[in-house]
A and B are shown apart, each in its own frame.
Chain A
Amino acid sequence: MSILVAVVFWLAAWGVNSWLARSRFAGLRAVRIAIPALFGVAILVLWQGVVTGLAVPEVILPAPSRLWGAIGGNLPVLGADFVQTILKGGLSGYVLGSVAGVLVAILVDRVPFLRAGLLPIGNFVAALPIVGIAPIMVMWFGFDWQSKAAVVVVMVFFPVLVNMVAGLSASDRMQRDLMATWGASYWQTLVKLRLPAAMPFLFNGLKIAATLALIGAIVAENFGSPTLGMGFRISTAVGQLALPLVWAEIAVAALAGSVFYGLVSAAERAVTFWHPSQRGR
């Protein structure tokens, strides 16, 4: 019965979405948010219906309603883990790594030898499985959040570096010549022309780095962690078969990741409002 209800709801949601997508409101901002939201709600309803309808054991997949209960019942634990993993490990590493990436990119751009030598290496390293340094960082910096931040710094550094170097060469010859005719110094050209021109590229790197940062922070907890943190909690809760708690942690991680990415995107929109890809929204 509940499966039937869920399927009917799913089909109805699909119908509404198709109509919305074709209608003349499709360009509206609210509709652009409403369609994926409805899509997501439909999946949740389908999930709930199938789990209760088929009596799927909780070990395999708890229903969304159980999950919601688990989130509400474990708020202090979830909050402490969030602070430990996302804020202390992830965010501090993200900021440090991004700043370092931007500074080194400016240096690389200034020195032709580094540009020819360091950039190919940076490109190569950016494609490597850098998460592998997690055990080394844990050996060096101990079990607490410092080692997680160190992993994140290294993971974030290379995508930011590579994109920022590409961005610094984004302003074209004519624009730079114009700055020269105005007698602008290197720093003036950098601050007034080349850094703003590099911003779309930088944000591209920052968005890639945002997802990497959380992966790094959580993976590093597998190699040693205080009795705190999302990665630690998930692996111990799986061991105790406390699966609603595991799913609650996953939900928090998902939410944190999406919000983090959303914040970077919002900053991008505010900073690069002039770029063609951001116009007309």
Chain B
Amino acid sequence: MKAGPVLGVLAVIVALWYAGAVWLNAAWTYDQAARNGTVVTFGGLLADTMAQERPVLPPPHQVVAEVWKGMTAYNVTSKKSLVYHGYVTLVSTFSGFVLGTLLGILMAVGIVQSRTLELGMMPWAVISQTVPVVAIAPMIVVLSNSLGFGDHLGVSNALVSKTIIAAYLSYFPVLVGMVKGLRSPDQMQLDQLKTYNASEVQGFFKLRLPSSVPYLFTSLKVGIAASLVGAIVGELPTGAIEGLGARMLIGSQFGSPIIVWAALFAAAALAGVLILLVRALETVVVRRMGVRG
């Protein structure tokens, strides 16, 4: 992949963004000027649209400045710090991801081993993903509050509900990938194990499981992104005050677009980092398993 065209397109996007910021924010500038009885020059227009308090579309540098301020200006444990909110979202993303991955792998093993489960459960797994999880999210919140799962486990109930929502979104890619992966050994390999007199269990652990690893990692990359979406969505109906999703909600309620954009960028950066992490883990594991290249 060459960097040139990517940078070129990025530059065009940034340029369009600035143009859009001037165009969309101009109305407010003219409005203010008319109220004060001043005349807007072109230079004045440019300067004002770049630095409004509540712009319709904040220009990139304002967003970057807000992200930077959110990350460095406050103590990381402060509620104003983006690092803190990012951490809260990250914790529920990870717990949901782990739970979802385990669930997906277990269901895949069941489906590969049992024909009844395959025919009975697989359609429901598909249906579970066509159900918009956000519709269920408030109920999950109520349930985990009234049942008090979190109190038993020693964590907050909000974390439990966010974990469930994130797991719900992330188990499916893992399930699909693992079913494919566990079925990937071909007949010849299965026959060979039979000639070694390997049992079903040995065949599973020595052949099926190792051959599913590449499929697993492909799904994990999708799964962790889905898990982050789940964690953010899970923060919206919970009335959470912590986390990137809560930050967006607060920004929208106080009519402050820059906060929303900063949270959005932080979430995007988090997604990028998480996918890179899974990719790094994949490289390490694949190398340890002896695959070269």
Contact = CB atoms under 8 A, between A and B. Distances in A.
A81 B37 CA distance: 47
A30 interface: no
Contact of B6 (A18, A121, A128): A121
A17 B251 CA distance: 52
A118 B229 contact: no
Interface centre among B122, B130, B237 (most CB of A within 10 A): B130
Interface in B146-173: 146-147
A215 B133 CA distance: 7
B9 A59 contact: no
A11 interface: no
Contacts of B139: 234, 238, 243, 246-247, 250
B267 interface: yes
Interface stretch (B38-46, B74-82, B254-262): B254-262
A258 B135 contact: no
A210 B134 contact: no
Contacts of B257: 136, 139
B135 A135 contact: no
B249 A60 contact: no
A186 B43 CA distance: 47
A253 B130 CA distance: 9
Interface residues of A, number: 62
Contacts of A258: 127, 130-131
B267 A129 contact: yes
A103 interface: no
Given A39-B124, A132-B263, A135-B249, A219 B116 contact: no
B119 A21 contact: yes
Contacts of B272: 124, 128
Q: Is the interface of B mostly helix, strand, loop or mixed?
A: helix
A246 B143 CA distance: 13
Q: Is the interface of A mostly helix, strand, loop or mixed?
A: helix
B225 A127 contact: yes
Contacts of A17: 116, 119-120
A201 interface: no
A275 interface: no
Nearest to B8: A117
A191 to B, nearest CB: 28
Given A139-B255, A210-B130, A223-B252, 14 more contacts: A17-B119, A21-B118, A39-B120, A120-B6, A129-B268, A218-B134, A222-B237, A231-B134, A243-B142, A246-B138, A250-B131, A250-B135, A254-B131, A254-B132
Question: What are the 5 closest A-B residue pairs judged by CB atoms, nearest first?
Answer: A117-B5, A117-B9, A135-B252, A116-B5, A39-B120
19 contacts: A17-B120, A39-B120, A114-B5, A116-B2, A117-B5, A117-B8, A117-B10, A121-B10, A127-B271, A129-B228, A136-B261, A215-B134, A223-B252, A224-B252, A235-B138, A238-B142, A238-B237, A247-B139, A254-B135
